[in-house]
Amino acid sequence: MNDTTICAVGNVATQPMYRDLATGPSARFRLAVTSRYFDREKSVWTDGHTNFFTVWANRQLATNVAASLSVGDPVVVQGRLKVRTEVREGQPNWSSADIDAVAIGHDLARGTSAFRRANKQETATSPPRPEPNWETPGGDSAGDSDADSVTRADSADQHRAEPLVVT
């Protein structure tokens, strides 16, 4: 996988937009990331250039983003960076930096947050899962035939040790 993964720390710049699409829930918002540096001449911290990213969240992450984030919240976003450039006739070139988010959370270095688990809803499209067969035949080798396994299982039942009684 040759994706560029990044971790961006910044503030939510626009209200998250939630949409329920045919492929599942999707949400997006703009993230403002401002660099800060120490100005030695003035002996103060100074804001540098601000970069804006469009953050895309899908499925359960999108639902949780819509319920948890609002404008101004300090967040940490981890995901795949995608930079797009578009040439338009008669207009200057247009570029966009998007983050396809894998994880989003509040920045606890700048405040507190209360975590609540989301209710997982079973989807109607997922097929029912069969119960696993936890009982295994007495044989250890994978190439045993069913008849050999049954014979060994029957003989194992006959040779079970009696429980010891301590008085």
Query: Per residue in 35-71, pLDDT tens?
Result: 989 989 999 999 999 999 999 999 999 999 999 999 9
d(CA 98, CA 79): 9
Q: Return the sign of the alpha-carbon dihedral for residues 41, 43, 44, 45.
A: positive
Q: Mean pLDDT, to the nearest integer, of 136-164?
A: 51
CB neighbour burial string for 25-60, b if at least 16 within 10 angstroms, e if fewer: bbbbbbbebeeeeeeeeeeeeeeeeeeebbbbbbee
> CA 90, CA 137: separation in Å to the nearest integer?
75
- Nearest one of 103, 116, 110, 35 to 68, comparing CA atoms: 116
Residues whose CB falls within 8 Å of the CB of residue 150, separated by 6 or more in sequence, listed in order: 137
Backbone angles phi, psi at 6, to 5 degrees: -135, 165
Q: Confidence class of residue 89 from pLDDT cuts 50, 70 and 90?
A: confident
pTM of the model: 0.66
pLDDT tens column, 118-146: 776 644 455 565 666 656 555 554 444 45
Which has more pLDDT, 10 or 140?
Answer: 10
Please tell me the predicted confidence (pLDDT) of residue 149: 46
Cα-based distances in Å from 47 to 9, 19, 66, 102: 14, 34, 29, 28
* C-alpha span between 81 and 98 (Å, rounded): 6
Note whether 6 and 78 are within 8 A (CB). yes
Q: H-helix or E-strand containing 21? A: strand 17-21
CB 55 within 8 Å of CB 17: no
